[in-house]
Amino acid sequence: MQLENLIQQFQQKDKAAFATLYHMYADNICGVINVILKDPERSQELCHDVFIKIWEKSDQYDTSKGRFFTWILNIARNTAIDELRSKSHKNQKKNLSVESLVGIYENSEDLNGKIDTIGLQSLLKGLKDKCILLIDLLYFKGFTQKEVAKELKTPIGTIKTRLRSCISEIRKNMA
C-alpha cells in the first residue's frame, strides 16, 4: 500500500492504517523522544501519547506543508520538550534554594547574611494573605504565573502586579 493512500485512510480514522503507520514510525519517534528526555521508560509512554495526539489531530496534517514523518516528528519533539520543561519545573520546586526567590537580593552574600530557609518562612508570615498564597504557589509549589492566574481566576497581569508588590514588601521587611 502506498504511503499517500495509507495517510488518507489514516485521516479517515481507519484503525488498520493507523496501526500500520504506528509500526512504520514508532521506533524512530520513540528514539527521538528518548534523545530529548534521556529516560527510556518515560519516552515509551510519551511515544504512545504522541500517537494518540496524531490520531486526534489527523485532520490537521496537510501534505502541501511537508512530509508526514516530519509532521509526526514535530509533534513528538514538541511534546518531549513540553514534558522536559514540566519535569524540570517539578524538580525545580523540590530543589528550591533561597537564592532563587526572584532575586529578592541580587547579591547572594547579602541574602545569606540576612536570612536562612527557616527565616524565609517566618518572613513570609508577616505578609498579606494574598502575598503568602502567591509566593507559596509560585515558589514553593512550582506553579507558573499562568497556572496561578487560572487557579485563582485572576488575570495574569494582576498576578504579575501582585507578585511585584509582594516582592517589594519582602525587600522592605528584610531591610
pLDDT at res. 119 = 61
Q: Which residue has the higher pLDDT, 158 or 143?
A: 158
pTM for the predicted model, two decimal places:
0.50
Report the C-alpha gap between 57 and 109 in whole angstroms: 52
**% residues pLDDT > 70 (the chain):** 75
Place of cell 514535530: 74
Q: Among positive and negative, which fits the CA dihedral 98, 100, 102, 105?
A: positive
Q: What is each CA distance from 80 to 41, 59, 60, 108, 145, in whole angstroms?
A: 13, 22, 20, 34, 22
Query: Each residue of 51-90: b (16+ CB within 10 Å) or e?
Result: beebeeebeebeeeeeebeebbbebbbebbeebbeeeeee
Question: What is the pLDDT of the chain when averaged over all its residues?
Answer: 79
Give kind and range of the element (H or E) at residue 59.
none
Q: Which residue has the higher pLDDT, 46 or 91?
A: 46
Q: Per residue in 60-117, pLDDT tens?
A: 998 888 889 889 999 998 898 888 777 554 554 444 443 344 444 444 444 444 444 4
Q: Is 11 exposed, middle or buried (0-12, 13-18, 19+ CB in 10 A)?
A: middle
Domains of the chain as residue ranges with CATH: 3-94 (1.10.1740.10), 98-174 (1.10.10.10)
pLDDT at res. 94 = 47
Q: Per residue in 106-146, pLDDT tens?
A: 444 444 444 444 566 666 667 888 888 887 777 767 778 88
